[in-house]
Every structure is written in structure tokens, then in C-alpha cells.
Structure 1
Amino acid sequence: MGRLLSVINRYLPLLFLMVLVLAIAKAFHLYWPFIQSRLVAFVAHLNLLVRYGVWVVVLLLFIGLGVLAVLSLMSHAGRLPQSISRRRWIMDILDRLTNRVALEERLSTNADATFIDADALSHALKSKVIGQDAICDDLAAQIRRRLALQQRGKPVGIFLFAGNPGTGKTYMGKRLATELGRKLLHIDMTQFSRGMAGTALFGSPRGYVGSDNYGKLTSGLRDSPDAVVLLDEIEKADPEIHKKFLTAWNDGFITEASDGKQISTTRAIFVLTTNAAIDVLEDIRQQYSQAPDEMRRASTNTLKESGFAPEVLSRIDRIFVFSRLTGLDVARVTALEIERMIEGYGLQVADQGIDPEILYRLMERQEKLADTASSRDLMRAIEESIADSLIAAKQQGARCVALIEGQGVVFARPVACPE
């Protein structure tokens, strides 16, 4: 009996299914004429709808697309009514939560990873910037690491060059731009000792004089976003101008005042130079030459005491303290400056074509100036010593010269150029 009940329970669902199918078939058979007449009427109505309603459908479709386009434009302009903007299904989530267009523009300015040879860059800098070999090595390594980043929300680097005048701070910034193949934006910050002078850098607001032109910095980065921005003697600028750079260094953009446009700084390299607290920084450099973290801490505290705002110093990636030039390093710098001046007159200097006595006298002059000496003083001394003789040699048709000193007078002797 139990076995029979088990078999019935197993096949009972199948039995019910068969009864249901038979019932549906019987009902379909009985009501087929009625179903057939309804199908014929439905097909007739469908044919009329297709024939006369297709253009109405197309018109409604175009109206709907037009409404969506208008809503999209209003959304991008930020003019969408709140009652509509709250409906999450009508717009991109980025349109609802942020300025998607601005975000897309920022992403489009992100640079791809760039790989450079740090050793080659360091060697090139050492060949031109005398007496700062450790800084050349460290600077090249820092730039290599930062350029290798694919996504950057900040500039490639913000570097502060501190130390005595005449040690090569400004020249290092110029050579860095040359060796990297980037445009140099050289800004003398002594011209911006008053806060209002910042309009020359960042533009003038609408309605003010000059508002039809971009500022020097904003226009330079707009045209050359990967430039090396050299802010020379940054400590002499007004502190309010210092703070205007905070968004450039922290958020990756600066704002042009004339039209409110944001100019990306994520591909730029900022180099700041300062002559502040040179004696204390020189002592710090000697004391912590093998401890870069301690050097940064001590240098930061010293510069803070010299008037730098803490928020400005916190944005600086690396502080490099340049060492004083002594001995033959002064002679090397002097020889390079003489070579550049000779080339500036369209001439070449012969091999071993600079009399050692000339270099010795110029070095003596620099040493007498002591801590007040600068590269500008050296350039003036060189120009006063050799410019007239170079002009005379050029007028004689010379192409190569050798500098000779006789009885306290320097003259340029034409010589044959090496083949």
C-alpha cells in the first residue's frame, strides 16, 4: 500500500498537467471563432496605426531628443532647476556631484609618463654648473622620478635653490630648461615687491586696465604647459604674491584673472631661488651634508625665520643649498663666462686661448668682494676687461681669438681656427 502511494505522489503532477492541457485544448476549440474574429480586428487596427501614426511617432522622437539636448546644455552651464537636477536618472553622476567638464579638461592635461636618463642629465648639468656636483646628481634623480609618474595632480617639481650669490642658482635653472628641452619662463621676483604687482603675473580682473591681456605667468604656461618656471629671488616678492602660487603648487592649476580660466601647472617645473639667510644656510649645508632630511628640516626653520610663510615652504619638494665657490671652481666659472662672452661677439676662443693671468686677476677681484660678490659682478668685470679687444678683433675679420694680458691690458689676438 505504501509503495502504491509513493508511485501516485510521484506521477500526480504529471497527471494534473495532462488534465490542464486537455482543458486548454477543449476551451480553444470551443472559442476559436471568437478568437479568430478578434485577431482579424487587431490586425486591421495595427495596419491603420502603422499607416497613419508613423510620422507622429517620428515627430515625438525628435521632440524628445531636443528636450534632452536642452537639458544637457543647461546641466553643463549649471542652470538646471533643482527640482529636475535632483532626479538622478536624468544626468551623469559627475554632472550631479561635480563640474564634469572641468574634470575632463584637467584629465586631458595630465602628462603621460616620461623617462629620462638621470645620469646623462646630471653629467650635462655638471659640465656647465661648476662646484655643485651633489646638487646636480640629486636634482636629476628627483626629476627622473617625478616625470615617470603617469598621473600627477601637482607640478613635476617645486625646487628651492638657496645660497650665496654667484654660486650658480639662477644658471642651474636655465641649464635645466635647456637640457630638458623645455621653454624657460624667467621671472625676476624683485619686480613684485607690492601685492598689486601680481596682476602682471596672473592677469587683471575684468574692468581693470590690462584685463584684455593674460598675465606673464598664465600666458606662458598656457602656451608652454611644460615650461621651467624660474622665480628668481623669490624672497623679495610680496608675501601675498607668494600665496597666489599655492594653488599652482598644491592643486595643479592657476587662475587667469581676466577670464577666470584655469591654466594647468601639472607639467611644469618650478625653480625658486633665494639669497635669504645665506650664512646660516651655509653652516647647515656643511653640518648636514650627509643627512638630507635633517638639512631640509633645519633649512625650512631658517627660511621660516627669514620671512617665508609656512604654507609656502610646505609646498616645496626639495631645498638645495648651494656651496660657496673656492679655488679652481672660481676659475672654471670665470673661464666659462669668458667663453660665453666671446661667443656672444660671434667669435671662438682657441684651445688654451685664455691667459692664466687674466683668470687669476679676475679671481682676486671676486675674492675682494667676498660675500657680496655675485655672478653679475663677475660678468661686469669680464666685460670691462675684454669687450673692447673683442670688438677690435671682430672688426679685423677674426673668427678665433686668444686672450693675452700685457702690462695690465687684455687684448684679443686673432689666431687660426682649429679644423
Structure 2
Amino acid sequence: MSEYMEKHSVARLVGAPPGYVGYEEGGQLTEAVRRRPFTVLLLDEVEKAAPEVMNVLLQLLDEGRLTDGQGRTVDFRNTLVIMTSNLAAETFAREMPEEERKKAVDQALRSFFRPEFLNRLDEVIVFHALTPKEIGSIVRFQLRQVEDRLKERRISLRLTAPAEKLLVRVGFDPEYGARPLKRTLQRLVVDPLTEKILAGAIPEGSEVVLGAEGD
């Protein structure tokens, strides 16, 4: 929701009022749900939205409908609304019992959001901190995407266990989770592979084995 940090961004959600530019286009939110009422609405990092945008969301959750800039009522009763938040993310940077973590998250939510907003949420789910095993699964998933691109040149890719452990260790940050992992793969895997392919060091039909130093 970082795109909706300004109060005028409400018009982007529900549409500009009559006489304003973009009036005929409708709102990004209301128009999408009007056309597809049976949908899933994902609001990422909802805490970044402007207070005016939060008021719109409050009405949506309370009444199950919104009025767009053209005066049409858009029904949200068949829309599943999922919101994510990074509030209390710092608690994941250190070890603590899950019950204690949930209490810290609950306190952060109550300190930031208005009670009437929280009262309209059906459930708050606190995700567990990622484990090395789960990070390893993400590494393998992202490497499969690299493998798919290499198949165009008939190049296969294999990762050794020590190399996977290295990527997990370097690409995981306790505070930011797996976010740095994509940059790590780009720096340690994709960029070196690209350079060698362009230099002709890895011809078509090759098998590339990714290992770690000392492997």
C-alpha cells in the first residue's frame, strides 16, 4: 500500500469525482471488484496507507460495499480481503517463544490501528519465523526459475548441498526474512553464469554444478 500514502490516492481507489480527470475510468479498486465480485483482494503492508485510505477500507469492512466516483455502489460481500503488515517485524530478528511474539504483534497492532478497524478483522495470523529448511526450499524454488531460463540453451544446473547451505546463510536475514535471497542468487549465481555464457565458457548442452569453496 506504499502507492497510497497520500490522501489524494483515495481517488485512485474509488475513482475521481465528476469534473475531475479520470472520472470516466473508475477506481482501481472499485472497478476491479465491480467486474469480478468473487475475488481475493490482497493489501500488502496496509499500515503504509494514508488515513483517508484507511477510512475507505474501514467502510469496506463495515458495510461490505463502496460507492465509486460515478455514484455506483460496488458490492464487496463476496470479496475475501487479506491484509499484510510488517508491524513488530523486529521481533523476528531474535529468538522468543511464539506466545510472546504474538503478544508483541498484538500490542503493535493496537498501538498503530484504530480499535474500530481491528474490530472488523475476522482473524489476525502471525507467521512463524522462517527456518533454514524453509529457506532452502525457497532457494531451490528460485533456482528452478533459473534452470527454466537455461533450458533454452540446453544447459542444466545442479546445486551441491554445501552450496545450498551457503546461499541459505548469506541470503537470509533474521529481520528481513528471505527478502535478500533474490539479490544473493542474482549476485552469486545468475550474474556469474551470465558472464560465462556470454564469454562462451559455458556452451550449449553443458551441465553446470554449483558448489561452495572447499566443497
Pick 1 or 2: higher relative contact order, CA cutoff 8 A, min separation 6: 2
Asked if the contact 1:339/1:349 (under 8 Å) is kept, the reply is no
The whole-number CA distance in structure 2 between the counterparts of 1:303 and 1:283 is 20
Q: Secondary structure at the match of 1:240?
A: helix
Q: Give, as a single letter, the amino acid of the residue that structure 1 aligns with 2:65.
A: F
Out of 246, 250, 262, the residue aligned to residue 58 of structure 2 is: 246
Larger helix share, 1 or 2? 1
Query: Does the C-alpha gap of structure 1 residues 406 and 366 become closer, same or farther in structure 2, counting only changes over 3 Å?
Result: closer
The whole-number CA distance in structure 2 between the counterparts of 1:236 and 1:264 is 25
Q: Secondary structure at the match of 2:163?
A: helix
Partner of 1:224: 36
Partner of 2:84: 273
Asked if the contact 1:253/1:264 (under 8 Å) is kept, the reply is yes
TM normalised by structure 1 equals 0.44
Partner of 1:13: none
Aligned-pair CA distance for 1:390:
5.8
In structure 1, the gaps of 5 or more residues are 1-188, 290-294, 409-419
Asked if the contact 1:250/1:315 (under 8 Å) is kept, the reply is yes
The whole-number CA distance in structure 1 between the counterparts of 2:170 and 2:208 is 22
Aligned-pair CA distance for 1:346:
5.4
Out of 360, 370, 377, the residue aligned to residue 174 of structure 2 is: 370
Bigger shift: residues 237-246 or 275-284: 275-284
User: Once the two structures are superposed, what CA deviation does each residue of 1:2-38 show, in whole Å capped at 9, x if it has no partner?
Assistant: xxxxxxxxxxxxxxxxxxxxxxxxxxxxxxxxxxxxx
Out of 375, 379, 383, the residue aligned to residue 182 of structure 2 is: 379
- What's the RMSD between the two structures over aligned residues? 3.3
Partner of 1:215: 27
In structure 2, the gaps of 5 or more residues are none
The whole-number CA distance in structure 2 between the counterparts of 1:221 and 1:193 is 21
Query: Does the C-alpha gap of structure 1 residues 195 and 345 become closer, same or farther in structure 2, counting only changes over 3 Å?
Result: farther
Q: How many residues in Structure 1 have an aligned counterpart in Structure 2? A: 207
Aligned-pair CA distance for 1:229:
1.2
Q: Secondary structure at the match of 2:81?
A: strand
Asked if the contact 1:255/1:263 (under 8 Å) is kept, the reply is yes
The whole-number CA distance in structure 2 between the counterparts of 1:401 and 1:263 is 55
Q: Secondary structure at the match of 1:229?
A: strand
Q: Secondary structure at the match of 1:323?
A: coil
Aligned-pair CA distance for 1:387:
2.0
TM normalised by structure 2 equals 0.80
Aligned-pair CA distance for 1:382:
0.8
Q: Give, as a single letter, the amino acid of the residue that structure 2 aligns with 1:209.
A: V
The whole-number CA distance in structure 2 between the counterparts of 1:285 and 1:242 is 32
Q: Percent identity?
A: 23
The whole-number CA distance in structure 2 between the counterparts of 1:236 and 1:364 is 30
